[in-house]
Amino acid sequence: MKNGIKTGLIFIGIVGAAILLLGKGWAEAKDEYPTKPITFYINYSGGGTEVATRAILEATGKHLGQPFIPIVKTGGAGTVGAMATMNSKPDGYTLGVTVGSLLTMLPHTEECPYKDLSGFTLVTNFSKFNWPLIVRGDAPWKTWKEFIDWARQNPREAKIGITGARSMSAQAIGMWQVENREKVKFTFIVFKGGGEILSASLGGHITMSASSMDPSTMGYVKEGKLRILAFLSAEKIPGYENIPSSQELYGFVPPAFFGVWGPRGIPEYALEKLDEAFSKGVKDPKFIEVMERMHTPIVYMDRKKFNKEVTEMFPKVGEIIKALKAEEAKEKK
C-alpha cells in the first residue's frame, strides 16, 4: 500500500513538473515570438485593399517587433492568395488579408476551392468597407426615400452599377435585400472596377453607383457632381452622418469585413501577440491618415468578436446567394 502511495506521489510530481515546464515553455515562446519577419499574402493589387493592408502592416510591425513581408498573390477573385495562406505552415509566420467575399460569399459558390472556413484562423478585423449609394448631382432624388418611391413606381428602370456578378458581389447582396424589403426591382449593370462605375455614373449611363468610396469619387461628391443617398453599411463617412445607412434603415449590412487570417492551428501565444499588436496598429497616426484619405472607416475587432460576426453571417449569406443563383438561372431561361 505504501509503495502504491509513493508511486502515485512520484507520478503526480512528474506530471506537475511537466505542466510547469510546458507553462514555462509557452510563456517563453510568447515572449520570444516573433523571431523573424512574417510573410503576408495580399490577394488584390493596385487598389484600396492593397493600400490599406500595407498601411496596417507597417503600423502593426512597429509594435510586433518584426516586419511583415507583403507578397501580392492575386487571382481567382482572391482565392489564390487565400489558398496560399491556408496551406502554409501554422506557426504564426504566414498570414494574409481577408475580406467579406472570401469569408462569407465565395465558399458558397462552385468556383471556390474551399467550402467552409475550417482551414483558416481568423486573427483580427481592422476595417469595414462602406458602399455609398450614389446618384448624379442633377438627379431628381434628394433623399433615399424619394429614390425608393420612384423605383417602386418604375420597376427595373433603376440601373445599379456593381462589380462582379450578383451572386459574387457584396453590394448586390445588400441591394437584393433592399429589393425584398422595399418591394422594388432593380436592373444590375456589372463593371470590372470602381473606375468604370465612376465614369458611368458621371456620364449618366447608370442610375446609381454601388461601389466602394475612393478619393476621386469623394471629390465629385464635394463638388456636387455626385450625391450620396445612403450607405450600404453600418459605417458612414465623416461629415455625412445625416445620410442613412442600411443598418439604420433595414437592420442589415452586406459582408463588409476587412481583416487578417492565417492557416488553421496557429499557436495561442502567437495569436495573443498578434491581437495585441494589431490593436495598437489601428491607432497609429500614419495608418489613420491613410484610411481617412481613402474615406475608409477603421473598425477594429479582436479575434473573438471577429469570429462571432463571421460565424453568424456565414449561413445567412449562403441562403441569399442560393436565392440569387436561382434568380440568375431563371433569368437565363
268-288 CB burial, b ≥16 within 10 A, e <16: ebbbebbbebbbebbebeebe
Calculate the average pLDDT of the chain.
Answer: 90
pLDDT tops 70 at residue 84: yes
Which residues have CB under 8 Å from 120's CB, separation 6+? Answer: 82, 85, 86, 98, 261, 262, 263, 264
Is the torsion defined by CA of 289, 54, 310, 262 positive or negative?
A: negative
User: How far is it, in rounded angstroms, from Cα 260 to Cα 278?
Assistant: 10
Which residue blocks in the chain are alpha helix, DSSP H?
2-32, 48-64, 79-86, 100, 144-153, 170-182, 194-202, 215-223, 246-250, 268-281, 285-293, 303-332
Distance set, CA 254 to CA 87, 93, 104 (Å):
28, 31, 10
pLDDT tops 50 at residue 294: yes
Q: Give the pLDDT confidence of 296-331 residue by residue, as tens digits.
A: 999 999 999 999 999 999 999 999 999 888 877 777
For strand 68-72 and strand 38-42, is the pairing parallel, antiparallel, or unpaired? parallel
pLDDT for res 333: 67
- Bridge partners of 131, per DSSP, are 232
Q: Please state the rounded mean pLDDT for residues 27-48.
A: 86
Yes or no: say if 133 and 209 are a contact pair by the CB < 8 Å rule.
yes
The CATH classification number of 131-248 equals 3.40.190.10
Highest mean pLDDT pick, 20-24, 42-46, 67-71, 172-176? 67-71
User: How far is it, in rounded angstroms, from Cα 58 to Cα 186?
Assistant: 42
Higher pLDDT, 121 or 8: 121
Q: Give the pLDDT confidence of 166-190 residue by residue, as tens digits.
A: 777 888 889 999 999 999 999 999 8
Q: Give the pLDDT confidence of 275-287 residue by residue, as tens digits.
A: 999 999 999 999 9
Output DSSP code: residue 245.
Answer: B
Domain with CATH 3.40.190.150 in the chain: 33-129+256-322
pLDDT tops 80 at residue 69: yes
Q: Please state the rounded mean pLDDT for residues 103-126.
A: 95
- Bridge partners of 130, per DSSP, are none
Q: Please state the rounded mean pLDDT for residues 10-14.
A: 58
Which set of grid coordinates corresponds to residue 8? 502515485
User: How far is it, in rounded angstroms, from Cα 144 to Cα 319?
Assistant: 27
Which residues have CB under 8 Å from 283's CB, separation 6+? Answer: none
pLDDT for res 9: 54
Nearest to 256 by CA among 127, 129, 171: 129
Residue 211 three-state SS: coil
pLDDT for res 111: 86
pLDDT tops 80 at residue 17: no
pLDDT tops 70 at residue 22: no
Yes or no: say if 210 and 175 are a contact pair by the CB < 8 Å rule.
yes
Higher pLDDT, 2 or 61: 61
pLDDT for res 24: 47
Q: Give the pLDDT confidence of 198-255 residue by residue, as tens digits.
A: 999 999 999 999 887 788 899 999 999 999 999 999 888 888 999 999 999 999 999 9
Around Cβ 215, how many Cβ atoms within 10 Å?
Answer: 10
Average the pLDDT over each of 161-165, 178-182, 257-261 and give the range with the smallest value: 161-165
pLDDT tops 60 at residue 35: yes
pLDDT for res 214: 81
Where residue 29 falls among pLDDT bands split at 50, 70, 90? low
Does domain 33-129+256-322 match CATH 3.40.190.150?
yes
Q: Please state the rounded mean pLDDT for residues 146-160.
A: 97
What angle is formed at CA 174 by the lines to CA 168 and CA 180, rounded to 5 degrees? 115
Domain with CATH 3.40.190.10 in the chain: 131-248
pLDDT for res 278: 98
Q: Considering the entire predicted model, what is its pTM?
A: 0.86
